[in-house]
Amino acid sequence: MADLFLLGVSEIFQIDMLIVILLGVVAGILAGLIPGFTVTMAIVLTLPLTFGMEPIMGVAAMVAVTVGGMSGGLITAALLGIPGTPSAVATTFDGYPMSRKGQPGKALSLGIWASFLSSIISLVVLIAIAPQVANFALQFGPWEMFSLIVAALTIIASVTGESILKGLIAGLFGLLIATVGADPIAGITRFTFDVDVLRAGIPFLVVLIGMFAISRLMNSVERTELVSDIQQKQEDKMKSMKFVLKPKETFMSIIKKPVNLIRSSAIGSIIGAIPGAGGSIANIIAYDQAKKWSKESEKFGTGHDEGVVASEAGNNSTVGGDLIPTIALGIPGSAVTAVLLSALMVHGINPGPLLITNEPNIVGGIFIAFLVASFFMLITQFLGIRLFVRVTEVPTQILFPLIMVLCVTGTFVLNNRITDIYLLFVIGIIGYLFTKYKFALAPIIIGVILGPIAEVNLRRAFMADPDWTLFFSRPISLVFLILAVLSIAFTIWQSRRVKHRKAQG
């Protein structure tokens, strides 16, 4: 453990590395802050910039963007009652009333401290758990890996989006896209239909940018979106409020009630570790639990300290939790960690249970980068918040073309191929239609990244032993498959119950 840390420190504490992390944190905060611009989008667009970097620096940059992004949503949530990202929805419940009562500075300071402290707690959880999980996973054969991927995908499909059916369809669509191009074992070209563009397969980054960035951008120029955006911005101007941050007092007030902070961070870390569930769910659940356990639960919703702390601690601690399966198993639980893994893969590093053993400097680097990014987030938030608030004033007509150009350039940079941009265009339209009809995008992305791994393991399993019952007779594999079935059954049961209740009124 200590050597992981030392390796990480020696990798991260270099001047260029620290500058990259700082820039990443600022970029993340800005992304979290601008309504309509998500953290995922920011991290997707960061990826092409990291191609020229060392692998550690690239990963550090992306961890920094994530940590910053999770805390960026706080600013608009607390000041304007508009969550900058979905992960900050519950922050508006108490942060906004607090600002309206004339304490915007207190709301922001509380949120910043909660974000910081919960990040640290989730880092401790990550460091404590990830190596154990990885050790355990070393026993996995191809059967277990395949079943694990099946379980991960079904859980993602059931957690995200409107219905499990659509989630599963999205996941399968991702798996199917991933089969285009060279077959992962024999290298035989598949499903190109004599179209040259498809010969090399559909690159992961193109799917990411198309699905997450282009579709979101198209969504932002719909009439209703544009109108609500303009209204928000006019309100912004009215509320160019003055506030005084109170770092010391708010720190003390959080520290005096450690239970709330620790509970919310634990909830966030656990939810983050579940594939598919992330900041947007953790922040609501942490808030809800804090309200249930609090002695002053009637004060929630009126601008109560504990509400702000719980919701911000809930969303920021998912980052650490999310990294557990990513580092220990090579299974990304969210689009953000999927990008992180693909950054490693671009540099020829294979994620999986062996990552900690084979690339201790990368893993140590991720831990330390996380720590440093949390500190930078704390400092830049307290120092720069006044500047950040002004960024929400940038109008859509400037933001839209700029981000679009970044998408196109980012895609081109990957392979220096114009044809990739044609693919981007098509996938962007598909992604837009999918979101329009409420298919979740995360399963598609995770499907694309896990598809080849699933196929390799399935075929290896059959090469080792043609007996297919092994998937059910090997205990760990069976547990994963049962988990998959349970997650489907549970979701169906739950949605039936909701419908039933609605029917009863």
Partner 1 sequence: MGEIVIGIFLILLSVLIYFNSGDFPQLNETHLDPGSYPKLIAALLFSLSLILIIKQTVTLVKAKEFGFKDGFKNFMLKQWHEYKLVIYMLVVLGLYIFLLNILGFIVSTIIFIIAAGLLIGPIKKKNVITISIVSFVMTVGVYFFFENVLYVRFPNGIFF
> Among 226, 349, 391, 486, which residue interacts with partner 1 (rule: CB under 8 A)?
226
Among 2, 186, 238, 503, binds partner 1 (CB under 8 A): 186
Question: Distances from the Cα of 216 to the Cαs of 250, 407, 415, in angstroms?
Answer: 36, 12, 24
Sign of CA pseudo-dihedral 30, 33, 38, 39: positive
For partner 1, which is the closer residue by CB, 195 or 255? 195
The least CB distance from residue 306 to partner 1, in Å, is 41
Segment near partner 1 (CB under 8 A); pick from 103-111, 135-143, 219-227, 380-388: 219-227
Nearer to partner 1, 183 or 288 (CB): 183
Q: 147 to 176, contacts with partner 1 by CB under 8 A?
A: 165-166, 168-169, 172-173, 175-176
Q: Segment 435-474, which members bind partner 1 (CB under 8 A)?
A: 436-437, 439, 454-455, 458-459, 462-463, 466
Q: Cα–Cα distances in Å, from 12 out to 4, 58, 346, 445? A: 12, 11, 20, 29
- Cross-strand pairs, 181: 190
Our CB check for partner 1 shows the closer of 52 and 505 to be 52
Minimal distance in Å, beta carbon 318 to partner 1?
29
- Token duo for residue 241: 């409020």
Strands (DSSP E) contained in 144-289 are 181-182, 189-190
DSSP 8-state symbol, 349: P
Q: Residue 366 CB, nearest distance to partner 1 (Å)?
A: 23
Which of 2, 15, 139, 193 is the binder for partner 1 (CB under 8 A)? 193
Read off the amino acid at residue 359.
E
Quick check: helix, strand or coil at residue 350?
coil
Strand-pairing partners, residue 189, are 182
Torsions phi, psi for 181 (to 5 deg): 100, -160
Q: How far is the CB of 442 from partner 1 (least distance, A)?
A: 17
Residue among 169 and 319 whose Cβ is closer to partner 1: 169
Residue type at position 226: L
Beta partners for residue 190, in sequence order: 181
- Minimum distance from residue 412 beta carbon to partner 1 (Å): 7
Amino acid at 102: G
Q: Do 428 and 221 form a contact (C-beta atoms < 8 A)?
A: no
Question: Between 3 and 222, whose beta carbon lies closer to partner 1?
Answer: 222
C-beta of 348 vs 466, nearer to partner 1: 466
DSSP type of residue 190: E
Q: Pick the closer one to partner 1 by CB: 35 or 104.
A: 35
Considering the complex, state which of residue 203 and residue 278 has its C-beta at the smaller distance from partner 1: 203
Q: Does 51 bind partner 1 (CB under 8 A)?
A: yes
214-222, 247-255, 343-351, 486-494 -> range binding partner 1 (CB under 8 A)? 214-222
Residue 186 DSSP symbol = T
Residue in the block written with tokens 């600013």: 75
How many residues bind to partner 1 according to rule CB under 8 A? Answer: 61
List the one residue from 2, 52, 242, 292 that touches partner 1 (CB under 8 A).
52
Name which position in 183, 349, 361, 479 contacts partner 1 (CB under 8 A): 183
> Could you say whether residue 44 binds partner 1 (CB under 8 A)?
no
Instruction: Tell me, rounded to whole angstroms, the distance of Cα 150 from its chain centroid.
Output: 20
By CB under 8 A, what part of segment 367-426 binds partner 1? Answer: 395-398, 400-402, 404-406, 408-409, 412-413, 416, 418, 421-422, 424-425
241 contributes a contact to partner 1 by CB under 8 A: no
Q: Is 221 in the site for partner 1 (CB under 8 A)?
A: yes
Angle (deg, nearest 10), helices 142-159 and 475-504: 10
Of 6 and 182, the one with the shorter C-beta distance to partner 1 is 182
| Distance, CA of 158 to CA of 277 (rounded, Å) | 10
Nearest distance from residue 220's CB to partner 1, in Å? 9
* Contact (CB, 8 A) for 291 and 314: no
Q: Are strands 181-182 and 189-190 parallel, antiparallel or unpaired?
A: antiparallel
Q: Min. distance of Cβ 76 from partner 1 in angstroms?
A: 21
Residue 187 tokens, joined:
């290298």
Cβ at position 416, least distance to partner 1 in Å: 6
Q: Judged by CB under 8 A, does residue 251 bind partner 1?
A: no
Which residues face 182 on adjacent strands? 189
**Cβ proximity to partner 1, 74 vs 403, nearer residue:** 403
- The tokens describing 294, both together, are 């609090």
Region of 85 on the Ramachandran plot (φ > 0 left; ψ -120 to 50 alpha; else beta): beta
- For the record, the structure tokens of 45 come out as 């667009």
CB of 89 to partner 1, least distance (A): 25
Cβ neighbors of 387 (< 8 A, separation 6 or more) are none
- Phi/psi zone of residue 460: left (φ > 0), alpha (ψ -120 to 50 degrees), beta? alpha
- Round to whole Å and give the CA distance between 32 and 28: 6
Residue 460 to residue 344: CA distance in whole angstroms: 23
Q: Minimum distance between the CB of residue 326 and partner 1, rounded to whole angstroms?
A: 24
Residue ranges that bind partner 1, judged by CB under 8 A? 49, 51-52, 165-166, 168-169, 172-173, 175-176, 179, 183, 185-186, 188, 190-191, 193, 217-218, 221-224, 226, 395-398, 400-402, 404-406, 408-409, 412-413, 416, 418, 421-422, 424-425, 428-429, 432-434, 436-437, 439, 454-455, 458-459, 462-463, 466
